[in-house]
Structure 1
Amino acid sequence: MGLVTAAIPFFLLAVLIELTLDRWRGWGLYRLNDAIGSLGAGILSRILGLVKVGILMLLYIPLYQWLEPTYQSLGINWSLDNPWHLVLAVIAYDFCYYWKHRICHEINIFWAEHLVHHQSEDYNLTTALRQSSDLLPLGWIFYLPLLLVGMPPEVLITAGAIDLIYQFWVHTQKFPKVRWMEWILVTPSNHRVHHAQNKVYVDRNYGGILIIWDRLFGTYQEELEDQPCIYGVRKPLNTFDPLAANLQHFKRMWLDAVYTQSWKEKFTLWFRATGYRPADAEAVMPVPSGDLDNFQRFDPQISRGLRGYALAQHVIYSVATLLLLQFSTELGYGLTALMVLMLVIGLVINGRILDGEPRTRRWELARLALLGATTPLFPAVIWAQVAGYCLVSGTAWWVLVFTHKDDTVTSVSH
């Protein structure tokens, strides 16, 4: 089990603590739909990782093995047992992360992958878990330079995990600005700036652990008392469906490539500055940015019963994900892929329930029927649990949606 997977229960515990304090003190930092949307994106990222090939390691390991005799001749010998080696590895990784993160904000196709992390219009610890699924993995390019210093794959993986785990705690609004920390480390204050869509804050503070990279390369911006952060992205997602979240910018670029008449634009728009659109495509299909002077968060209203149902489903998906992450190696690729598919379908429909999508009336019943039909393919030890889950969920959904007129899903204009 990797460090990040091992840390997930502690992440969830911290979320529960912040949520409890939020409700107790009335901070208003959490909305159920946004929190589930963010956590759903995090689940999608982790489970898709079980069925995808890790391109970085696929390339990095053979290249390292090819260069290993050279490292040995130069006396380069990294060790996880040496704490100073680990410190240096984290610093080197964080430097590469800075440039990866910065390019993700500056070039269209890289932004398409990173965008997911910025879509939440709230800012709390669930935002930290809102991760891209890397449907088109490109970030690995930025870590290949670590071969130049002979960093072994296991050291790279550990440094990357530490860098990612550190970033969890900075996604909170309730940690005050601490002056000395702002000069050296990424903190909640300067990372709030990074997630804000205010003009003064956009594309600033890219560091993972160290903010010194931003100070060195001119991308640092302090959080200003007279400029409260407005979270989210300029072209809002307006859905809590985690798959749609991952496809949002890819879809927009693809449509631009279809609508533009210029063949040059069709091939180059993917690598232009973030937000660039061919003029003719924009004229045919305008996508206005949000009005920050009259900013309204996407917050469709659905019945209390449906909110409770969506929360219960999310809890079940979370438990299933933790179990799948733990036992996937024993299940084999085919069965793991089937379980991942069932979870993906569930996450998508659950997000659409929170959107107030009317079609979920039928979709959710179809999902439960499909899950019931595929149950014999699962390990026999969980047949009874899956069958019971389908029966209870189906009954609850039928009662909520088809027998109580006040509890039907209402349409929401996006």
Structure 2
Amino acid sequence: MNLVTLAIPFFLLAVLVELALDRRYGWGLYRLNDAIGSLSAGILSRITGLIRKGLLLVIYIPLFELLQPYYQAMGFNWSLDNGWHLLLAVAAYDFCYYWKHRFAHEINIFWADHLVHHQSEDYNLTTALRQPSGGLPIGWIFYMPLLLIGMPAELLITAGAIDLIYQFWVHTQKFPKVRWMEWILVTPSNHRVHHAQNKVYVDRNYGGVFIIWDRLFGTYQEELEGEPCIYGVRKPLNSFDPLAANLQHYKRMALDAWHTRSWWDKLTLWFRRTGYRPADAETAMPVPSSDLADFQRYDPQISSGQRYYALAQHVVYSGATLVLIWAAAQLNYGQLVAAVTLLGTGLIINGRILDGHRLARVAELARLGVLLAAAPLLPAALGLGIGTYAVLSALTWWRLAFADKGATVAIVSD
């Protein structure tokens, strides 16, 4: 089990602590729908990772073995037990991550995947867990230079996990600017800049652990006292559905390729600079940007009962995800795919419930009907538990979606 998986319970605990403090002191950092949207994207990313394999190690390990004579001649002898070696490995990995991250902001096809992490219009620890479910599988290219310094795969994996875990804590608004840290490390202050859509902040501060790469390569921007961060993306998602989050920019590029008459643009717009749109496609299908002078966060009106229902379902999905991750090794691939499909469908429908989408009412009953029908096929205890859950959820949802005309929740503006 890798370090990131082991860290998940601590991530969730930290989210609960920040949420409790937010409620205690009235900071206004959390909204239920946005937090569930971010966490759902994170869950979808983790569970789809169980049924897809990354290419990095598949390519890296054979090349590492092939280069053994070169490593012996150069005297490379990395050790995971050596603290200095681990620190150097994290620095080297983070240098490669900087360029991968920078390209993710600057090239359309890479942004389509990374965009998911930036869609949240709130900024709290749930934003750190908002991750994509896998785009064009070429991110491994950026880590190939580590072969030149003889870094073994186990050290690469550990350095990558440390890099990712470190990035969790910087997604908070309540940690102040610490001047000396801003020169060396990625901090909450300079990472808030990275997530802001203000013109002065866009496409800045790409480092994962070290901010020195941004200072060296001209992409550093300090958080300004007179320019509060406005979080999210200029072309808002306006949905809490994690599937829609992952498809947002791919869909837009596909439509642009369909509408443009230029074959050159049809073929190349995917790899052009982020934001590029053929003129005729933009005319045929304009996509307005957020008005930052009068910015309003996406917060649709649904009944309070439906909000709490969505929260309860999200708790169930979170628990099921942890069980699935820990039990994945005992399941065959078909069972994994079935479990991921059922969980993923639930996350998507739950997002649409929070959107107030008209089809969510029937879709949720259909999902619960499928679970109830599948319950007899499972081991007795598991089948009884899932069947009971499906019946109770269906009765509750029928009451909330088709019978209850309770109060709605007002739109929040910022």
TM-score range, shorter chain: over 0.9
- Post-superposition offset of 1:82: 0.9
**TM-score normalised by L of structure 2:** 0.97
Distance 1:380 1:50, change over 3 A: farther
Q: Do the aligned residues in 2 keep the contact of 1:401 with 1:409 (CA within 8 Å)?
A: no
Q: Which residue of 2 aligns with 1:396?
A: 396
Q: Which residue of 2 aligns with 1:258?
A: 258
Q: Which residue of 2 aligns with 1:326?
A: 326
Count of matched residue pairs: 410
Q: Which amino acid aligns with 1:297?
A: R
Unaligned runs of 5+ in 2: none
Q: Do the aligned residues in 2 keep the contact of 1:401 with 1:408 (CA within 8 Å)?
A: no
CA-to-aligned-CA distance 1:187-207 (integer Å, 9 cap, x gap): 000000000000000000000
Q: Do the aligned residues in 2 keep the contact of 1:109 with 1:271 (CA within 8 Å)?
A: yes
- Post-superposition offset of 1:388: 1.3
Q: Which residue of 1 aligns with 2:224?
A: 224
CA-to-aligned-CA distance 1:74-127 (integer Å, 9 cap, x gap): 321211111111111000000000000001000100000100000000000000
Q: Do the aligned residues in 2 keep the contact of 1:113 with 1:246 (CA within 8 Å)?
A: yes
Q: Which amino acid aligns with 1:372?
A: L
Q: Which residue of 1 aligns with 2:167?
A: 167
- Post-superposition offset of 1:306: 0.4
Q: Do the aligned residues in 2 keep the contact of 1:127 with 1:171 (CA within 8 Å)?
A: yes
Task: Find the residue that maps to 2:406 and give its secondary structure.
Answer: helix
Q: Which residue of 2 aligns with 1:385?
A: 385
Q: Which amino acid aligns with 1:98?
A: Y
Give distance in 1, aligned partners of 2:405 and 2:213.
56
Q: Which residue of 1 aligns with 2:45?
A: 45
- Post-superposition offset of 1:136: 2.5
The answer on 1:196 being equivalent to 2:204 is: no
Q: Do the aligned residues in 1 keep the contact of 2:304 with 2:409 (CA within 8 Å)?
A: no
Q: Which residue of 2 aligns with 1:355?
A: 355
- Post-superposition offset of 1:151: 1.0
- Post-superposition offset of 1:406: 3.3
Give distance in 1, aligned partners of 2:408 and 2:334.
37
Task: Find the residue that maps to 1:35 and give its secondary structure.
Answer: helix
Q: Do the aligned residues in 1 keep the contact of 2:304 with 2:406 (CA within 8 Å)?
A: no
Q: Do the aligned residues in 1 keep the contact of 2:112 with 2:135 (CA within 8 Å)?
A: no
Q: Which amino acid aligns with 1:97?
A: Y
Q: Which residue of 2 aligns with 1:236?
A: 236
Q: Which amino acid aligns with 1:70?
A: Y
Give distance in 1, aligned partners of 2:5 and 2:342.
21
- Post-superposition offset of 1:380: 4.5
- Post-superposition offset of 1:371: 1.9
Task: Find the residue that maps to 1:337 and give its secondary structure.
Answer: helix
Task: Find the residue that maps to 2:384 and give its secondary structure.
Answer: helix
- Post-superposition offset of 1:145: 1.1
Task: Find the residue that maps to 1:172 and give its secondary structure.
Answer: coil
Alignment of structure 1 residues 251-290 onto 2, 5 Å:
251-290=251-290
Q: Do the aligned residues in 2 keep the contact of 1:34 with 1:120 (CA within 8 Å)?
A: yes
Q: Which residue of 1 aligns with 2:5?
A: 5
The answer on 1:108 being equivalent to 2:91 is: no
Q: Which residue of 1 aligns with 2:375?
A: 375
Give distance in 1, aligned partners of 2:44 and 2:96.
25
CA-to-aligned-CA distance 1:25-45 (integer Å, 9 cap, x gap): 000000000000000000000
- Post-superposition offset of 1:152: 1.0
Q: Which residue of 1 aligns with 2:183?
A: 183
Give distance in 1, aligned partners of 2:299 and 2:404.
23
Q: Do the aligned residues in 2 keep the contact of 1:51 with 1:333 (CA within 8 Å)?
A: yes
- Post-superposition offset of 1:256: 0.5
Give distance in 2, aligned partners of 1:96 and 1:378.
46
Q: Which amino acid aligns with 1:75?
A: G
The answer on 1:316 being equivalent to 2:316 is: yes
Q: Do the aligned residues in 1 keep the contact of 2:304 with 2:408 (CA within 8 Å)?
A: no
Distance 1:86 1:397, change over 3 A: same
Q: Which residue of 2 aligns with 1:296?
A: 296
Q: Which residue of 2 aligns with 1:150?
A: 150
CA-to-aligned-CA distance 1:337-384 (integer Å, 9 cap, x gap): 100000110000000000011111100000011122233454544112
- Give the fraction of aligned pairs with identical amino acids, expressed as a percent: 72
CA-to-aligned-CA distance 1:283-311 (integer Å, 9 cap, x gap): 10011111100100000011111011000
Q: Do the aligned residues in 2 keep the contact of 1:64 with 1:147 (CA within 8 Å)?
A: yes
- Post-superposition offset of 1:279: 0.6
Q: Which residue of 2 aligns with 1:23?
A: 23
**TM-score normalised by L of structure 1:** 0.97
Task: Find the residue that maps to 1:405 and give its secondary structure.
Answer: coil
Task: Find the residue that maps to 1:406 and give its secondary structure.
Answer: coil
Distance 1:372 1:68, change over 3 A: farther
- Post-superposition offset of 1:73: 3.5
Q: Which residue of 1 aligns with 2:65?
A: 65
Give distance in 2, aligned partners of 1:198 and 1:377.
53
Over aligned residues, Cα RMSD in angstroms? 1.4
